[in-house]
Structure 1
Amino acid sequence: MIEIDRITKTYGDSTAVDGVTMTAETGTITVIVGTSGSGKTTLLRMINRLEEPSSGEVRINGESTRATKPHLLRRRIGYAIQGHGLFPHHTVGRNIGAVPQLMGWKKDRIRARVDELLSLFSMEPDAFRDRYPAELSGGQQQRVGVARALASRPDLLLMDEPFGALDPIIRARAQDDLRRIQRRLGSTILLVTHDMEEAIRLGDRVAVMDGGRLVQHATPAEIIAQPATPLVADMVGDVERPLRLLSLIPLSELLEEGTAPGEAMPAEASLRDALAACLWSGRSAVPVTVDGVPSGRVTFEAIRARAELHA
């Protein structure tokens, strides 16, 4: 658990972060979203003491971060940034193994961890371990950057705009990768973004910053349905609100008996995905599978009715 307790950061007469208090539960993704200058990156950097708080405290599993020397603290906390920040003259294996090496891991343990993470990110270890960053695509470089942040099995992973430099298709895949791996490893992640779409897609909870202050900290559904301030409402977008809510609801919630033509969708897919499939193909329903087994359908009318509840 990460507890942020009345954290403030001032620079002379300017206040970058103003008395922020919030808790990130173990094994969850908390996304901090806000416009440029809202204080979100400064807040993130105070957690691993890249910036020292002017006042307030951060506690990780009940222990104040001030109780640990900054360089030792950072070895316990993974950190991934936009543009990946890989060492260009080191191989993928050396990049991923950098922090474990600093922590004194044995070579065979480091190699095993490198191969484990590459496999987890769907990158064949024998094909990628000895490559250099320049030989990778942008999406592959970003995967390696996240793998490096996870290498030492940190208590916490901090991510600052990690997917901002990727094109939309690769970015969506990287987000899916992160969610899949977070669920598998049970990692606790705090991620900064300026993109509300990304916050809603990734976050178990979303923290909205404005002018250095935390203006709302809630589940994605609450952020969409009950924005606390006009800024939050603007970031969500009134027109997009029903569609954003549909993206949070799995097909399993509207599953009914019956069949439908066309390619089936898994029960965990979202109503927004099913709506897009219906509109694209002109179908009135989509077939649904549970664990690969045909289990019913979801109709266009049921999806539309659910959307109208939130319009």
Structure 2
Amino acid sequence: MIEIDRITKIYNGVPAVDAVTMTVESGTITVIVGTSGSGKTTLLRMINRLEEPTSGEVRINGESTLEIKPHLLRRRIGYAIQGHGLFPHHNVARNIGAVPTLLNWPKDKIRARVDELLTLFSMEPAEFRDRFPAELSGGQQQRVGVARALASRPDLLLMDEPFGALDPIIRARAQDDLRRIQRALGSTIVLVSHDMEEAIRLGDRVAVMDGGQLVQHGTPADIIANPATPFVADMVGDMERPLRLLSLVPLAEVVEDGGAPGAALPADGSLRDALSACLWTGRTAVPVEREGALIGRVTLETIRARAGLRA
């Protein structure tokens, strides 16, 4: 869906983004990750021309973004930022409906879309539609910010550190929300983060930036197992690598027959979740359920074997 072709941005003779080429497939989440100053945000902003490239080209569905007027391009691309950027003097409904209003959607269609998105984000429309941003929690504000970016059914959603201002518990829930909604809508998302944990948790593909260059682009498993440079290896972390690998393995993939005591974990949970449950409660196995029905168990022995951990 998105082809980034040798895109370059130079400031004062220094390349902030240096001849980056990559493809983003439709219906996937790609996370661009790197340290401060690596060029990740500049790369993201060149996709919707908030930053104009010095050279190179971005194509969306085969069409060069340089051939589209910037304001028209941005109406086709959702954009969500850290801190949500809501209009404080507009209620939730007006915030979410901002772009559809610019596109002259009928009022009844806008209202239906607002209610649809609030429901999707587990926010009851009758309760939240007329609230103002100051009356929402940080997590709720972020949900509304993402809902606003999705309101006009854009071809693409760009997200710049969208969860950076949230505390760890709310951040994890917001990440889960985004993944669930992306799967439900089939959206294409490009997200910038400085957090490799977030990149691995969310990304179908991870693009690692260092010094303005794309140093590795692959699946989370590729990035963890085969870091292309010492910088990527540092981002992954040697000590954390087994745990990151466990986070990519769903329980349904390794569940075995048998029972186990204690609370069950969902089949779409990860081996990392199961390891945490075992260590926290002192169990040697955890039961696994799907839609409320027990389907088996996962043992601590299996978890350790998959991670290469010693007993």
Q: TM-score, length-normalised on structure 2?
A: 0.98
Where does 1:163-178 land on structure 2 (aligned, <5 Å)?
Answer: 163-178=163-178
Where does 1:88-167 land on structure 2 (aligned, <5 Å)?
Answer: 88-167=88-167
1:275 aligns with: 275
Secondary structure, in 3 states, of the residue corresponding to 1:105?
A: coil
Distance 2:4 2:292 in 1: 42
2:63 aligns with: 63
Distance 1:254 1:177 in 2: 25
Aligned residue identity for 1:231: F
Moved over 3 A (4+): none
Deviations 1:235-263 (A, max 9, x none): 11100000000001011222111111111
1:304 aligns with: 304
Deviations 1:87-128 (A, max 9, x none): 110111000000000001010000000010111111111111
Distance 2:257 2:169 in 1: 34
Distance 2:298 2:196 in 1: 28
2:218 aligns with: 218
Identity of aligned residues (%): 82
**Deviation for aligned residue 1:265:** 1.2
Residues 1:265 and 2:268 are matched in the alignment:
no
1:230 aligns with: 230
**Deviation for aligned residue 1:309:** 7.2
Deviations 1:63-110 (A, max 9, x none): 111121000000000000000000110111000000000001010000
Secondary structure, in 3 states, of the residue corresponding to 2:308?
A: helix
**Deviation for aligned residue 1:12:** 2.4
2:196 aligns with: 196
Aligned residue identity for 1:57: E
Aligned residue identity for 2:166: L
Residue segments in structure 1 that go unaligned for 5+ positions in a row: none
Count of paired positions: 310
Where does 1:25-44 land on structure 2 (aligned, <5 Å)?
Answer: 25-44=25-44
Secondary structure, in 3 states, of the residue corresponding to 1:31?
A: strand
Secondary structure, in 3 states, of the residue corresponding to 2:224?
A: helix
Distance 1:90 1:303 in 2: 49
Secondary structure, in 3 states, of the residue corresponding to 2:180?
A: helix
Secondary structure, in 3 states, of the residue corresponding to 2:263?
A: coil
Q: Once superposed, what is the RMSD of the aligned Cα atoms?
A: 1.0
1:54 aligns with: 54
Q: TM-score, length-normalised on structure 1?
A: 0.98
1:8 aligns with: 8
Deviations 1:256-275 (A, max 9, x none): 11111111112111000001
Residue segments in structure 2 that go unaligned for 5+ positions in a row: none
